[in-house]
């Protein structure tokens, strides 16, 4: 931090306190505005980076605000004395929230924050933009537990709906390679392919894995191992979001949000309701296993009984006469096997037993 203190920029009206993040693209500082004492974040372009990147980021955020997208931290571009962005300080990064998880209720609340984040990203996609650098460090959680998306430095315009605007034109013509964070880039991103919405979906899949299991995905993990700790439908969403090939991956945040809505209640429940839902799932699984065992166990018993009677009849033929009533009873009341789809449809519609 001594090096940071030596290179601390000077801005009128703002006191810079400490460097938060320093990368090859930008330096991010926490500061205080002298006029009202409000906490702010200041982002400078790195020395080797064109400051125009900051202007484009501000324009992207402005376009999203004008479109009514909520949950994006506003960014104001200032050119003097050096180019920089000024953003309000909202709270703490989602990374800090994840590191503070100590129990099931904490994880459920973090999962709820994640679902709200997916809603924000789906709106960003709907306006024709790709964020390009989704990760817990770029999601800020305010005091009320609401997530805010920040750092649109890697954003790109990806929909034709925005191609007639100045910001999308400048973004689409941007030269140079694609940035982003290694652990959250999809395989095709590492191979130099053009970015699509599924890039953000892949990053969200990595984040969902972190939220639910406390770590990034392990390539050695199998669907079977995941199903030992997560419900099957949750595992399937994870696998579809993290698919290696983009053609097999969930194609947009909107589709991902729809998939998540089906399992949202269970994953975000807290307190007694969480235990009730989890306990109900276990109870239903136990009941289903019981009836399966009962049905197929009775078949095994029946077959074993036939074999025993047949074996006895070979030694004592008169036993066949005693077996006749049992055979008649089995013909009258017999096991039909699992219900077919046609039988289920007939039963639900009333079938032969519908009242006339």
- Is the pLDDT confidence value at 40 over 70? yes
Residue 232, judged by CB atoms within 10 A of its CB (0-12, 13-18, 19+), counts as: exposed
Pairing, β 147-149 against β 156-157: unpaired
Highest mean pLDDT among 143-147, 189-193, 315-319: 143-147
- State the chain's mean pLDDT as an integer: 78
**pLDDT given at position 169:** 37
Least confident stretch, 57-71, 249-263, 335-349:
335-349
For tokens 């290694």, name the residue. Answer: 182
- Is the pLDDT confidence value at 130 over 50? yes
Residue whose C-alpha is closest to residue 170's, from 282, 50, 299: 50
**How confident is the model over 63-89, as a mean pLDDT?**
92
- Is the pLDDT confidence value at 307 over 80? no
pLDDT, tens digit, 9 for 90 and up, residues 11-32: 989 999 988 888 777 889 999 9
Q: How confident is the model at residue 150 (pLDDT cuts 50, 70, 90)?
A: very high
- Is the pLDDT confidence value at 315 over 70? no
Q: Which pair of structure tokens corresponds to residue 160? A: 């034709």
**How confident is the model over 93-122, as a mean pLDDT?**
92
Largest CA distance in the chain: 110
- Is the pLDDT confidence value at 247 over 80? yes
**pLDDT given at position 192:** 78
Residue 249 Cα to chain centre, angstroms: 13
**How confident is the model over 117-125, as a mean pLDDT?**
95
- Is the pLDDT confidence value at 174 over 90? no
**pLDDT given at position 165:** 41
**pLDDT given at position 160:** 38
Residue whose C-alpha is closest to residue 60's, from 110, 111, 127: 127
**pLDDT given at position 242:** 94
**pLDDT given at position 166:** 39
Buried b or exposed e, range 90-105, using 16+ CB within 10 angstroms = bbebbbebbeeeeeee
Supply the pTM of this predicted model. 0.70
Percent of the chain, pLDDT > 90? 38
- Is the pLDDT confidence value at 271 over 70? no
Q: How confident is the model at residue 210 (pLDDT cuts 50, 70, 90)?
A: very high
């Amino acid at each position: 931090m001594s090096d940071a203190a030596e290179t601390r920029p000077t801005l009128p009206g703002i006191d810079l306190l400490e460097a938060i993040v320093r990368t090859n693209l930008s330096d991010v500082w926490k500061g205080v505005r002298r006029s009202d004492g409000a906490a702010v974040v200041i982002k400078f372009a790195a020395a080797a980076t064109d400051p125009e990147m900051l202007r484009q980021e501000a324009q992207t955020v402005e376009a999203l605000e004008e479109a009514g997208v909520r949950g994006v931290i506003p960014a104001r571009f200032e050119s003097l004395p050096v180019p920089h962005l000024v953003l309000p300080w909202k709270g703490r990064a989602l990374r800090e929230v994840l590191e503070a998880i100590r129990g099931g209720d904490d994880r459920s609340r973090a999962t709820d924050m994640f679902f709200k984040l997916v809603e924000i990203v789906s709106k960003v996609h709907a306006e024709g933009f790709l964020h390009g650098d989704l990760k817990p460090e770029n999601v800020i959680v305010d005091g009320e537990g609401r997530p805010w998306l920040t750092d649109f430095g890697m954003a790109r315009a990806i929909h034709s709906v925005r191609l007639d605007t100045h910001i999308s034109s400048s973004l689409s013509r941007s030269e140079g390679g694609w940035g982003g964070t290694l652990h959250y880039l999809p395989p095709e991103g590492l191979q130099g392919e053009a970015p699509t919405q599924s890039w953000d979906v892949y990053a969200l899949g990595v984040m969902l894995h972190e939220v639910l299991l406390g770590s990034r995905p392990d390539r050695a993990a199998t669907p079977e191992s995941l199903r030992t700790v997560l419900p099957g439908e949750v595992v399937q969403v994870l696998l579809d979001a993290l698919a290696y090939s983009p053609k097999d991956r969930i194609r947009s945040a909107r589709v991902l949000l729809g998939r998540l809505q089906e399992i949202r209640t269970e994953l975000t429940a807290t307190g007694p309701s969480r235990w009730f839902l989890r306990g109900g799932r276990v109870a239903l699984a136990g009941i289903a296993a019981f009836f399966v065992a009962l049905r197929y166990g009775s078949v095994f018993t029946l077959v074993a009984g036939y074999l025993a009677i047949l074996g006895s009849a070979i030694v004592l033929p008169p036993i066949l006469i005693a077996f006749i009533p049992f055979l008649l009873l089995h013909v009258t009341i017999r096991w039909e096997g699992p219900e077919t789809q046609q039988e289920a449809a007939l039963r639900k519609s009333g079938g032969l037993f519908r009242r006339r």
